[in-house]
């Protein structure tokens, strides 16, 4: 089981948008550079996020993309479900559908627990938290590579 590329890119873009100062918008080109996603595919991802009410799109001078108001409270589960639809590990877990095996199936409760655990984890983290962690990790990596490069230069001298 694996999320789609579109969902991965949607997560990347909302995390990037969460790093923007309040009131600032990102142009498509800057989002392409920050996420490593091509413009045409990224446009489709953004379109879906706009349609699902997670991202706002503004046209014209000073336009671009930003999270909707209170978008920093958006959870990873909400982003995933905006792209993939409701999280359902197996057909027998879809509300309204019935499976003749449910009353005696030993696997059904396992699917229920697995789905509950997955949705709990995805719902437990916000876009803002992921953006903060990404920025902190990027800073650490930059500092590490900076000190590593300095050590390499010292060793060469």
> Is residue 28 within 8 Å of residue 65, measured between CB atoms?
yes
Identify the pLDDT of residue 148: 53
Tens digit of each residue's pLDDT (9 = 90 or more) over 95-131:
776 788 888 999 999 999 999 999 999 999 999 999 9
Location of structure tokens 């995390």: 15
Q: Of how many residues is the chain composed?
A: 157
Tens digit of each residue's pLDDT (9 = 90 or more) over 51-69:
999 999 999 888 899 999 8
Location of structure tokens 């706002």: 56
Whole-model pTM: value is: 0.84
Residue 21 DSSP code = P
| 3-state SS class at 72 | helix
Location of structure tokens 């309040």: 22
Location of structure tokens 């993939």: 84
Q: Is 61 left (phi over 0), alpha (psi -120 to 50) or beta?
A: beta
Residue ranges and CATH numbers for the domains of the chain are 5-84 (1.10.10.10), 86-125 (no CATH)
């Amino acid at each position: 089981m694996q999320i789609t590329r579109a969902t991965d890119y949607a997560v990347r873009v909302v995390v990037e948008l969460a790093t923007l100062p309040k009131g600032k918008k990102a142009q498509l080109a800057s989002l392409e550079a920050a996420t490593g996603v091509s413009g045409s595919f990224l446009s489709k991802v953004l379109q879906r996020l706009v349609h699902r009410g997670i991202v706002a799109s503004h046209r014209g001078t000073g336009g671009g993309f930003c999270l909707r108001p209170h978008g920093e409270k958006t959870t990873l589960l909400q982003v995933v479900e905006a792209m993939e639809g409701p999280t359902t590990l197996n057909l027998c877990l879809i509300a309204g559908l019935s499976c003749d095996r449910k009353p005696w199936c030993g696997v059904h409760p396992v699917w229920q627990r697995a789905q509950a655990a997955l949705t709990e984890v995805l719902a437990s983290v916000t876009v803002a938290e992921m953006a903060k962690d990404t920025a902190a990790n990027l800073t650490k990596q930059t500092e590490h590579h900076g000190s590593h490069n300095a050590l390499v230069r010292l060793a060469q001298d």
